[in-house]
């Protein structure tokens, strides 16, 4: 710098030059990121949809249905004022609903665990997969299928097998294995899946399109008491 | 500042290595090195961003004034990382699923800003790229070594799940070093990172001190001979 200063133009020391330089850089990079966002946005959305389809395939065996569950969705009424409604993907065979899939969120050691689960029309689990999580690599990440087959053990289970009060990890006196060194993660996953089954049970008639008005109003009361009780 | 390619390579890989020499970037180092594969993923992602950021900083080094250089470097790095993140997500989605968690972490890697400030802003483009290359490589190697040690002691495996990062042709590097091992949890948790890093740093220090004392004895000998000859 010192060697150059003899030939350096004076404007380099002016505050306006610094302002324009910094502002210009911010503008250029803002523009570049905007451009990158616009170029990649559609592709990313497409990739996410492919991912969604791939996860749907894992929790809804393609053999049991003949429609496109990605386009056959139903959004449940939200439980609370600030919650988004649960989006249900419906799998039909010859027009009749044979199973549904939906996403639920559990809380693990490192924050939210996004889970997708498939349930058949009787409330039996067709499959569960973890879509994203922030658990400790090497410990909590055994909930991923690529690391361990733990998540596949939910297939075929329902309330009754095991009993509803056994839907906990073994450490809490329940049915499900935890991992060595990680209890919070599987606990969060089991709790979320249990919650998912409860949601299905509670909204079964609406999800499957069965009209039983009495039951719906009863369910409404349950929600009311749970929220304020 | 030495700018020969030999010196740049030696600096990056050993003497001024980001972790072992400058002890920078310890946050991502300790966070992701619980397995060799994670270390490799983080290393490769950092490697790519470091070369790009060195390139851009070096290209514009004559326009940028010292007064505003730090925010401008930060903008460069954050911009590059964001664009890389989006592009990989859109066009290399399989890789993104593996590397995705590491990429945003690179923004917090002070070593990249460190190289921009200490090297790229003062050196021509080709040297800046060489520096990014050797620094990135050195960083990756140390991450893999720390990750490898922690993985072997913590889980008894080496490069587990590496094929999801490198492709199925790399299945062969996934090894079970100690079969039927039940794991040593502390090595997989952050304290294990501190322990392994501390031991490696101590070994390097030890090596350097020995080298220095060896050099010193070599230098003293001719002096002694001179003294003896002048005495006689």
Range of weakest confidence among B50-64, B88-102, B191-205: B88-102
- Averaged pLDDT score across all residues of chain B: 86
Q: Where are the domains of chain B?
A: 5-214
DSSP per residue, chain A: -TTGGGTS-GGGGSHHHHHHHHHHHHHHHHHHHHHHHHHHHHHHHHHHHHHHHHHHHHHS-GGG--S-TTTSEEEPPPSSTTSPPPEEEEEEETTEEEEEEEEEEEE-SSSEEEEEEEEETTS-EEEEEEEE--PPTTTGGGGSTTT-SGGGGGTT-BTTBS-GGG-SBGGGTSSB--BTTBSHHHHHHHHHHHHHHHHHHHTHHHHHT---HHHHHHHHHHHHHHHH-
Minimum Cα–Cα distance from A144: chain B residue:
B161
Count of CB atoms within 10 A of residue A202's CB? Answer: 20
B66 touches chain A (CB under 8 A): yes
Q: Is B16 on the interface with A (CB under 8 A)?
A: no
Please tell me the number of Cα atoms within 13 Å of A176 on its side-chain side.
29
Please give the residue that has the higher pLDDT: either A5 or B102. B102
Indicate the helix (H) or strand (E) that contains B113.
helix B110-118
Q: How far is B124 from chain A (nearest CA, A)?
A: 14
Most confident of A191-200, B98-107, B152-161: A191-200
| Every domain of chain A and the residues it spans | 60-208
Max mean pLDDT range (A129-133, A217-221, B167-171, B180-184): A129-133
pLDDT score of A1: 45
Which ipTM was obtained for this model?
0.76
Distance between CA atoms of residues A169 and A177, nearest Å: 6
Mutate to test the interface with A, among B67, B70, B152 (most CBs of A within 10 A): B67
pLDDT of A30 reads 95
CB-based burial label for B187 (10 Å; 0-12, 13-18, 19+) = buried
Q: Does B34 touch chain A (CB under 8 A)?
A: yes
B72/B82 Cα distance (integer angstroms): 15
pLDDT above 90: residue B132: yes
Mean pLDDT, rounded, for B87-102: 81
A23 to A15, A16, B56, B75: CA distances (angstroms): 12, 10, 17, 11
CB contact under 8 A, A18 and B67: yes
**B180 — contact with chain A (CB < 8 Å)?**
no
Quick one: closest CA in B to A145, which residue?
B161
Residuewise pLDDT in 10s, chain A (229 residues):
444 445 567 788 888 999 999 999 999 999 999 999 999 999 999 988 888 888 888 899 888 888 888 888 888 877 666 667 788 899 998 888 899 999 999 999 888 999 999 999 889 999 999 988 888 767 788 898 878 889 999 999 999 888 888 999 998 988 998 887 788 999 999 999 999 999 898 888 888 887 654 444 444 444 444 444 3
Task: Compute the distance between CA of residue A134 and CA of residue A136 in angstroms, rounded to an integer.
Answer: 7
Residue B157 three-state SS = strand
Nearest to A137 among B35, B65, B164 (CB): B35
pLDDT for A133 equals 86
Q: What is the pLDDT of residue B189?
A: 81
pLDDT at residue A222, as a whole number: 41
Cα radius of gyration rounded to whole Å, chain B: 21
Over residues B106-114, the mean pLDDT reads 88
């Amino acid at each position: 710098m010192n060697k150059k200063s003899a030939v350096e133009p004076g404007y380099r020391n002016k505050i306006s030059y610094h302002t324009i330089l910094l502002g210009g850089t911010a503008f250029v990079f803002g523009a570049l990121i905007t451009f990158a966002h616009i170029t990649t946005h559609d592709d990313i959305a497409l990739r996410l949809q492919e991912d969604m389809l791939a996860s749907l395939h894992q929790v809804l065996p393609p053999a049991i249905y003949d429609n496109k569950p990605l386009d056959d969705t139903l959004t449940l009424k939200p439980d609370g004022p600030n919650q988004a409604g649960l989006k249900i993907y419906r799998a039909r065979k010859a027009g009749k609903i044979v199973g549904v899939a939906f996403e639920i969120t559990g809380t693990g050691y490192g924050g939210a665990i996004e889970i997708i689960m498939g349930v058949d029309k009787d409330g039996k689990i067709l499959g569960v997969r973890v879509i994203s999580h922030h658990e400790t690599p090497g410990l909590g990440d055994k909930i991923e299928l690529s690391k361990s087959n733990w998540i596949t053990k939910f297939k075929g289970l329902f309330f009754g097998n095991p009993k509803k009060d056994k839907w906990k990890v073994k450490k809490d006196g329940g049915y499900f294995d935890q991992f060595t060194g990680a209890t919070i993660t599987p606990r969060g996953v089991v709790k979320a899946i249990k919650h998912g089954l409860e949601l299905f049970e509670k909204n079964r008639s609406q999800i499957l399109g069965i009209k039983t008005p009495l039951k719906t109003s009863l369910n409404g009361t349950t929600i009311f008491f749970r929220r304020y009780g | 500042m030495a700018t020969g390619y030999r010196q740049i390579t030696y600096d990056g890989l050993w003497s001024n290595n980001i972790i072992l020499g400058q002890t920078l970037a310890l946050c991502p180092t300790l966070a992701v090195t619980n397995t060799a594969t994670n270390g490799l993923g983080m290393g490769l992602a950092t490697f790519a961003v470091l070369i790009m950021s060195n390139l851009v900083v070096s290209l514009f080094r004559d326009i940028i004034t010292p007064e505003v250089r730090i925010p401008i470097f930060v903008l460069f790095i954050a911009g590059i990382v964001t664009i890389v993140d989006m592009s990989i997500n859109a066009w290399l989605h399989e890789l993104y699923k593996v590397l995705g968690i590491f990429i945003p972490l690179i923004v917090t890697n002070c070593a990249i800003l460190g190289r921009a400030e200490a090297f790229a802003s003062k050196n021509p483009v080709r040297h800046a790229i060489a520096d990014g290359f050797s620094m990135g490589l050195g960083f990756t190697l140390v991450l893999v070594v720390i990750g490898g040690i922690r993985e072997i002691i913590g889980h008894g495996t080496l490069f587990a799940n590496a094929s999801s990062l490198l492709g199925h042709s790399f299945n062969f590097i996934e090894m079970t070093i100690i079969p039927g091992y039940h794991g040593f949890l502390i090595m997989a948790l952050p304290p294990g990172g501190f322990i392994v890093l501390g031991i490696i740093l101590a070994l390097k220090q030890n090596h350097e001190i020995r080298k220095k004392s060896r050099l010193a004895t070599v230098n003293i000998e001719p002096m002694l001979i001179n003294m003896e000859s002048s005495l006689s």
